[in-house]
């Protein structure tokens, strides 16, 4: 069931992103007087198509990993004399720039609309209160203490752990003092703390900002009550059910969920005797955690079960909501922030500050799509917006084959006063295909490594 949900979620996500991207090209091409021959979502043989009154074929193809807008162009096929004014290659360089850039811009617009909807509907987050600080960690040396609420990172206000993580990831490679503002409670004044860092998160795979600082977020006590079970894994095979509360393991009482997790992780392949409370009755069950091999030969146990959700205390909950007008500015600001973060991540990957193993391909995208869909509409829309921004940024990179490569040629044409030669474009095409192909293979390889 999880695999099917992942597949359906990624089809919906990619379908929306591709449709918006290609519609951007299509809409501007039509307004520039270019005849569009085909608008296709997906590659390969069409499984559905229709032709409109302008002669454009709209198609949905079998391979949902991309799309294209095919325009009338003398470089691809002979064009009748009476249609030359509708050919893409006959348009001015500025019109061609507008048509090509419209696809990525449509992705940024989609992200703005998604964030606007989230801000208008309202999003709920939890207050970033520190649960514990590790001894001799940057957080402890900087003076942070358990119970404090973080209100700003590097001078920028934050309202939840997700925003804090974004600000910390943006500081990858930093050496010196990381500025964090925190307050003891909601009524006290914030105080600035300076945390010493050196080559912050450089090549950490994956980056773990909070553990690297020695900060553990505060969480309410989670009783060892099972939520979701993964079909076929140890918990399911042992007869455990959602709602079961584990009260003892091998005769030792279980304090809470994390205590139970620690026991399971420390017992790969070992038989455990569980005492479970189900519908007010105690039951005895036996379970053998699976074995998950980590780096350096370390193995941990797992049973394929999640904890049942627990309501957060009201004083720790924060609702972020804006009016329709104010939400526009917030949505544009969030889109700009995520765009700059994506560009900075690409730069840091090129200079070696971020490991290339953080690249994600279609498998990881499918997994995250499914997870975000199961987590609720808010999580799904937020992921859709972020992926739309990533698609827009990647397509604007100056690599031949991508929209950014075409824009590079057209801006060179503006400067030189004449188009880039067909031979130079052909060489660039081969280089671009090699680069994009290599990146795709690397992303799929790292996807498979994460699965294993």
- Residues annotated as catalytic are 22
- In which residue are the tokens 């474009």 written? 425
Virtual CA dihedral for 68, 71, 73, 78, nearest 10 degrees? 100
Q: Which residues contact 31 (CB under 8 A, 6 or more apart)?
A: none
Q: Which residues contact 250 (CB under 8 A, 6 or more apart)?
A: 272, 273
| Start-end of H helices in 186-323 | 209-213, 234-237, 257-265
Q: Is 289 left (phi over 0), alpha (psi -120 to 50) or beta?
A: beta
Question: DSSP states of 330-341 as a string?
Answer: HHHHHHHHHHHH
Under a CB-based contact definition with an 8 Å cutoff, are residues 134 and 425 in contact? no
Q: Which residues contact 365 (CB under 8 A, 6 or more apart)?
A: 10, 13, 14, 387
What is the C-alpha separation between 392 and 202, in angstroms, rounded?
A: 26
What is the C-alpha separation between 349 and 428, in angstroms, rounded?
A: 23
Q: Kind and range of the H or E element at 177?
A: strand 176-183
Virtual CA dihedral for 24, 41, 71, 53, nearest 10 degrees? -90
Length of the chain: 452
What is the C-alpha separation between 257 and 223, in angstroms, rounded?
A: 5
Question: DSSP states of 83-145 as a string?
Answer: GGGG-GGGS-HHHHHHHHHHHHHHHHHHHHHHHHHHHHH-EEEE--BEEEE-TTSHHHHHT--
What is the C-alpha separation between 173 and 348, in angstroms, rounded?
A: 8
Q: Which residues contact 371 (CB under 8 A, 6 or more apart)?
A: none
Tally the C-alpha atoms within 13 A of residue 354's C-alpha that lie toward its C-beta.
20
């Amino acid at each position: 069931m999880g695999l099917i949900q992942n597949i359906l979620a990624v089809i919906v996500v990619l379908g929306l992103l591709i449709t918006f991207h290609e519609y951007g090209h299509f809409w501007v091409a039509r307004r520039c007087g270019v005849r569009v021959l085909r608008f296709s979502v997906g590659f390969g043989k069409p499984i559905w198509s229709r032709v409109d009154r302008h002669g454009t074929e709209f198609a949905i193809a079998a391979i949902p990993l991309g799309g294209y807008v095919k325009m009338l162009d003398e470089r691809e096929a002979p064009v009748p004399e009476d249609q030359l004014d509708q050919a893409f290659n006959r348009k001015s360089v500025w019109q061609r720039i507008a048509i090509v850039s419209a696809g990525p811009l449509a992705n940024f617009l989609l992200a703005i609309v998604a964030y606007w909807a989230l801000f208008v509907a309202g999003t709920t987050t939890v207050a970033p209160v520190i649960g514990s600080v590790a001894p001799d960690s940057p957080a402890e040396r900087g003076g942070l203490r358990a119970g404090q609420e973080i209100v700003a990172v590097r001078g920028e206000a934050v309202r939840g752990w997700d925003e804090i993580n974004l600000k910390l990831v943006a500081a990858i490679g930093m050496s010196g003092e990381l500025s964090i503002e925190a307050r003891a409670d909601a009524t006290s004044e914030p105080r600035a703390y300076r945390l010493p860092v050196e080559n912050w998160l450089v090549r950490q795979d994956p980056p773990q900002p909070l553990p690297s600082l020695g900060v553990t977020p505060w969480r309410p006590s989670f009783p060892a009550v099972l939520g979701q079970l993964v079909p076929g894994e140890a918990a399911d095979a042992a007869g455990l059910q959602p709602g079961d509360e584990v009260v003892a393991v091998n005769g030792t009482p279980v304090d809470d969920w994390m205590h139970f997790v620690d026991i399971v992780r420390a017992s790969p392949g070992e038989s455990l005797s569980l005492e479970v409370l189900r519908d007010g009755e105690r039951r005895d069950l036996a379970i053998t955690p699976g074995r998950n091999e980590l780096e350096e030969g370390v193995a941990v146990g797992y049973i394929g079960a999640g904890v049942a959700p627990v309501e957060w205390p009201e004083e720790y909950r924060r609702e972020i909501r804006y009016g329709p007008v104010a939400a526009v500015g917030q949505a544009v600001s969030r889109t700009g922030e995520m765009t700059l973060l994506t560009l900075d991540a690409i730069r840091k990957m090129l200079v070696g500050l971020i490991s290339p193993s953080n690249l994600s391909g279609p498998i990881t995208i499918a997994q995250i799509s499914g997870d975000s869909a199961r987590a609720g509409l808010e999580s799904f829309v937020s992921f859709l917006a972020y992926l739309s921004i990533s698609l827009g940024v990647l397509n604007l990179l100056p690599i031949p084959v991508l929209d950014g490569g075409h824009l590079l040629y057209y801006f060179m044409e503006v400067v030189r006063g004449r188009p880039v030669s067909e031979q130079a474009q052909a060489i660039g095409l081969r280089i671009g295909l090699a680069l994009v192909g290599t990146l795709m293979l690397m992303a799929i390889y790292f996807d498979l490594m994460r699965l294993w």
